[in-house]
Structure 1
Amino acid sequence: MTPINPSHYRSHPSGIECIQITQHMGFNLGNAVKYIWRCDLKHDAIEDLKKAKWYIEKEIAKREAQTVAPR
């Protein structure tokens, strides 16, 4: 385990690393997936799920702000 590549990012049974998925996403969605990915691998799953929710809510707000109603 290293600080740059901790085991909770490499522990999925498929062998896929979280970054292999999240690098193709935007910042908010990538971070949400990261926190969901590792939620059962660290000490506080609820905290990680709340962080994921926070990023999802930020993404929703961003997309809602970009939606312009037709006039």
Structure 2
Amino acid sequence: MTEPAPDMVNHPAHYNASPSGVEVIDVVEHLNFCRGSAVKYILRAAHKGAEVEDLKKARWCLDREIQRLEGGT
């Protein structure tokens, strides 16, 4: 018996791969875009095959949020 294919649109495995089992959307929907994106990239980084790239994306989002808070463009 084969297992059903994962639903890569609504529930990919990396969406709740955190040891807590919490789905990322349940956390990030309470944050603004840049902060939520940074958290998303950090929590999923080790599970998508491009860990360093995702951590760099998180850093980019955080830098943009810091720039916004400091009054930059």
Question: 1-side partners of 2:55 and 2:19: how far apart?
Answer: 20
**Structure 2: runs of 5 or more not aligned:** 1-5
1:56 lines up with 2:32 in the alignment: no
Q: How does the TM-score come out when normalised to structure 2?
A: 0.83
2:51 aligned with 1:33: no
Task: Kindly report the root-mean-square deviation, in angstroms, between the aligned alpha carbons of the 2 structures.
Answer: 1.3
TM-score, scaled relative to structure 1? 0.85
Structure 1 moving runs of 4+ over 4 Å: none
State the Cα distance separating 1:30 from its structure 2 match: 0.1
- CA distance, structure 1, for counterparts of residue 43 and residue 26 of structure 2: 12
Structure 2 match to 1:69? none
Q: Which amino acid aligns with 1:58?
A: R
Between the two proteins, the alignment pairs up a number of residues equal to 66
Superimposed CA distance per residue, residues 13-60 of structure 1 (whole angstroms, 9 cap, x where no aligned partner): 222111111011010000000000011101110000010001001100
Equivalent residue letter for 1:42: K
Percent of aligned pairs with the same amino acid: 42
Aligned partner letter, 2:42: I
Q: Which runs of 5+ in 1 are unaligned?
A: 67-71
- Secondary structure of the equivalent of 1:39? helix
Partner of residue 47, structure 1: 53
